[in-house]
Amino acid sequence: MPYGGEVTDRSVTAQQYGQFLIDVFEEWVRHNIAEVYVQMFDVALANWYMVHLLRQNRAPSEVMRLYATRDQEWQALLAKTGRNNPCPCGSGKKFKHCHGRDQS
């Protein structure tokens, strides 16, 4: 991920962050990246965003509430991933050998 290191200690407004997402998303769409990679990217971006919020000294309760929302989306993503598909966490393993292990 080339994006994480470049924005770490700068504060970014919500509008700038939104524009950042749009720019990145359009770039990915333009290159016709497969859906699974977009999902992986989304998870990576969500994790980066949590770190970003914590570095801005946002209240942990607020960050955790956002994280709970993301977790619901993550669970929904797990629920629709096939057992023989690559795990959406980006490990490169099959889902059934990674986060899919405890799902039946």
Our CB check for Zn ion shows the closer of 49 and 96 to be: 96
Q: Report residue 89 CA to chain centroid gap.
A: 9
Q: Rule CB under 5 A: say whether 99 interacts with Zn ion.
A: yes
CA distance 26 to 61: 32
Considering CB under 5 A, how many residues would be counted as binding Zn ion?
5
68-87 residues in contact with Zn ion (CB under 5 A) are 87
Which of 8, 19, 91, 103 contacts Zn ion by CB under 5 A?
A: 91
- Residue 63: strand, helix, or coil: helix
Report the Cα–Cα distance between both ends of the chain, in Å, rounded. Answer: 31
90: left (phi over 0), alpha (psi -120 to 50) or beta: left
Among the listed ranges 4-12, 26-34, 63-71, 94-102, the one in contact with Zn ion (CB under 5 A) is 94-102
Binding site for Zn ion (CB under 5 A): 87, 89, 91, 98-99
